[in-house]
Chains A and B, each alone.
Chain A
Amino acid sequence: MSDDEMMQEGGTIKKFCYVNRKAPYGTVYALESLEVVLIGAAFEQDVSLIFMDDGIYQLKKNQDTSDSDMKNFSPTYRALEMYDVEKLYVEKESMEARGLTEDDLVVPVEVKTSKEISELMDEQDVVLSF
């Protein structure tokens, strides 16, 4: 067990990291990731979400699926805070390649360089990729 892990009622708290790299609607990965994060939140683990590559587009403001017959799940990212999922990280390089800034996103995020992202991944007990 690492030093970061603490015992509490019900067991150990582990560092869980969800890596989101897919655009929101072309595949089901983004929605599936969000559902797993919400389910996982019930277990009160130390959760981080990383958005990189096309995963950044999951957080784009102004999504409106009214003409597409799909569920717009982007408002759910704003609800993550209520589940104590507050560590949202965005890779700077991915954001820049897409001409996006933090102002284009539906939630406050921490922008990290790819080097910082790699360090963050290295600290985790569990990494889940979507």
Chain B
Amino acid sequence: MLLHIVNKSPFINNSLESCLRAAKKNSGVLFIEDGVYGALDNTAITPQVKKAMKDKKFFVLASDLKARGVSDGVIKGIEVVDYGGFVDLTTQYDVVESWL
């Protein structure tokens, strides 16, 4: 199973959109760096992510949320992970695909 890593803001390019199109059921999606804006509730992107959450597991990196002042805005159901959790995810999934 694949872990997809998204590090670009969903508002500036189509990385997240392409990732969600390519990601199969039960795969994982991890938001890091500017990608964490994709994990936020009440944005224009939120409906797309909530829809994808129905059959995929979503994660977001805590320190990147904290740096950007958006720790409180994460969509309910997205798991917040620290760097240790990030490493664990890369071992739990068979393959990692980065959407640069």
Determine whether the beta carbon of A68 is less than 8 Å from that of B66.
Answer: yes
- Nearest B residue (CB) for A72: B67
Q: Give chain B residues whose Cβ lies under 8 Å from the Cβ of A99.
A: 40-43, 46, 73
Determine whether the beta carbon of B11 is less than 8 Å from that of A65.
Answer: no
Q: In the complex where A26-B33, A99-B41 touch, is A67 in contact with B67 (Cβ < 8 A)?
A: yes
Within 8 A of A (CB), among B27-71: 33-34, 37, 40-44, 46, 62-64, 66-71
Determine whether the beta carbon of B67 is less than 8 Å from that of A97.
Answer: no
Question: What 1/0 mask marks residues of chain A from 63 to 96 whose CB sits below 8 Å from any chain B CB?
Answer: 1111110101010000000000000000000000
Q: How many residues of B contact A (CB 8 A)?
A: 25
Q: Tell me whether B87 is interfacial, beta carbon within 8 Å.
A: no
Q: Give chain B residues whose Cβ lies under 8 Å from the Cβ of A60.
A: 68-70
A22 to B11, CA, bound (A): 10
CB distance from B96 to the nearest CB of A (A): 19
Q: Give chain B residues whose Cβ lies under 8 Å from the Cβ of A68.
A: 63-64, 66-67
Determine whether the beta carbon of A97 is less than 8 Å from that of B68.
Answer: no
**Interface bin, chain A:** 20 to 34
Q: Tell me whether B4 is interfacial, beta carbon within 8 Å.
A: no
- Nearest B residue (CB) for A58: B68
Q: Tell me whether B9 is interfacial, beta carbon within 8 Å.
A: yes
A97 to B7, CA, bound (A): 19
Query: Can you list 26 A-B contacts (CB < 8 A)?
Result: A23-B9, A23-B34, A24-B68, A25-B67, A53-B11, A54-B12, A57-B68, A60-B68, A62-B69, A62-B70, A62-B72, A63-B67, A64-B67, A64-B69, A67-B62, A67-B66, A67-B67, A70-B67, A72-B67, A97-B11, A97-B44, A98-B37, A98-B43, A99-B40, A99-B42, A99-B46
Query: B residues engaging A (CB < 8 A)?
Result: 7-9, 11-12, 33-34, 37, 40-44, 46, 62-64, 66-73
Across the A-B interface, the 8 shortest Cβ-Cβ residue pairs: A99-B42, A26-B34, A62-B69, A67-B63, A63-B69, A97-B44, A60-B69, A68-B67
